[in-house]
Amino acid sequence: MTPFKPQKRTYHTATVIDNKLYILDGDDVNGNIIGKEFFYLDFSVSFNTQNLLWKDLSSIDTVPPHDSAASVKGGANNSTLFLYGGYATDKTMALVYTYDPQSSTWSTPIITGIKTLKKQSLTGIMNNNGKMYLWGGYDTNGNNKNDMLILDTINLSWGQGSLVGAPSARYDYGAVLLPNNNIIYTGGWDDNAELTLSQVYIYDIINDNWIMRASSGKIPSGRDSFSTVLGLDGQSIIIFGGTATATNDNLTPEDSLYVLNLNNFEWYIPTISGQIPKSRMFHKANVIANYMVVSFGDGYDQSTESDILLLDISNSEEYMWTNNFVPTIISPPSSSASPSPTQSSISPINSVNSLSTQQPEKFSSSIVGAILGSLFGGIGFTICCFFLYKWNKNRQKQKNAMLISGNENRENMLISNERNSYNSRQSNLVPINNDYYNHGQEIPQIPPRNEYMNNHESIMIPAPAPVYNYGQERIPIANNERFSSQNPYDNLKNEFRQEIQNLRQEFILQNNGQASAFNATRNSNNNSNY
């Protein structure tokens, strides 16, 4: 079976729904309306523009042959193709048609609201609330218009926007929806000349008003029949092609691509790589994945150039013409067709800036923070565990010592021996005082370390006075060279080792004390028998 190859065309419509680019009707190279032709190109898979696999749907097309219509994706589920206006020789052609890709059927909806005339050679813009904005164009009598028609694709009703401050009547202009819910309009034709791009017009959807902004920089020559898309950064618009003469002469490739910075409304020619194609006019352009996708038009040779052009706009510093399309992973669209609109302002500068994403923190800083946090957290946890263990052990020692009564000399011996064991590393620093009755609850108090103190200075330690508060007294221990030079981990290790030795000594002394108490009791009983 021979693959379907569509005719070269102008004034067609191009609508993206679920990664499919639907193309409908238009004019042939001689300016005549093409018969019913409805087809799509699948952008969910990779392909090369030299080998396009079109899917023909012409057999289900019930729309009369036409050109110069406007189309958008809308409806309750934001998945329906809406077709408005256009020119047809068949006078029975309806004002609006819809196509449902799920059922592959066309229908003619019943729409309420104000009485509306058919227009052509205009651009349909869909906002986030399911409304299609149709400004300008000309009517069936050939009169240029500057009115704003609004089609609610969810409730199927017509409305009208404000004309206050609106641009002069024109058609074949450029238009695109901005992130702040404004629509920007550029250039066009008014039956006399191509209109300048030194002025751009902005329609505020929420506040229903117009404002004109002057542009600067490398301003493109006045033109019409070009395409306009929003850059991926949301801060620029890209225009391609068109004509700058009344005789529809084609532009040179060097004069075909411009960018308008929305922050300062300055035009510039972007850096471009790849094989630059010939300019086109009366074509269409859509943003799909990372590409500006240009479809058909006039000004190129179909035998040497593809009907589809791909401009990779993922790098705002350098755009690249390419023949290869690579799809990107796109999250499924929301099932709701009426998301809450963002607050808009007359100037898109602040609104666009407010949508800019914040730069993520550097990866290296995150790693360093994680390492330091883990290190200090581990040290803190170890120290807490040590002091909790020591507190619990001392409490147990106090209970055990209180069980043994009636032998104050033995109690003094226990304390003295334990202190001697605990201070075996520093016996020359802390004198033993048998007047202490703290039963293992003594807390070493180390004076603050002075980093500027000479570690070899001699330190005088006064003898402590007798204390009889049973476990609440503090024993001052002077800092010395060995302690000040130890690593915190070495101190912890030595403390654990010393505690183990203390436990062993206490166990031995406690057993000896119990044995002595038992012998004393037995001797007392024997003496009473006598």
Instruction: Spell out the domains of the chain, with CATH numbers in brackets.
Output: 13-354 (2.120.10.80), 397-529 (no CATH)
- The neighbour count for residue 484, using CB atoms within 10 Å, is 13
Runs of H (alpha helix) within 126-186: none
Q: What is the pTM of this model?
A: 0.65
CA–CA separation, 167 and 202 (whole Å) = 9
Cβ contact 27:9 at 8 Å: yes
E strand map for 350-458: 443-445
Both tokens assigned to 305: 């150039």
Count the neighbouring beta carbons within 10 Å of the beta carbon of residue 412. Answer: 14
Contact between 227 and 282 under an 8 Å Cβ cutoff? The reply is no
Q: How far, in Å, CA of 478 to CA of 430, rounded?
A: 8
Backbone angles phi, psi at 349, to 5 degrees: -60, -55
pLDDT (tens place) for every residue of the chain, 530 residues total:
788 999 999 999 999 999 999 999 999 999 999 989 999 999 999 999 999 999 999 999 999 999 999 999 999 999 999 999 999 999 999 999 999 999 999 999 999 999 999 999 999 999 999 999 999 999 999 999 999 999 999 999 999 999 999 999 999 999 999 999 999 999 999 999 999 999 999 999 999 999 999 999 999 999 999 999 999 999 999 999 999 999 999 999 999 999 999 999 999 999 999 999 999 999 999 999 999 999 999 999 999 999 999 999 999 999 999 999 999 875 554 433 333 333 333 344 444 333 333 333 333 444 445 555 666 666 666 666 666 666 666 666 555 544 444 444 434 433 344 444 334 434 343 343 444 334 334 433 444 444 433 333 333 434 444 444 433 444 344 444 444 444 555 566 666 677 677 766 666 666 655 545 545 555 555 444 44
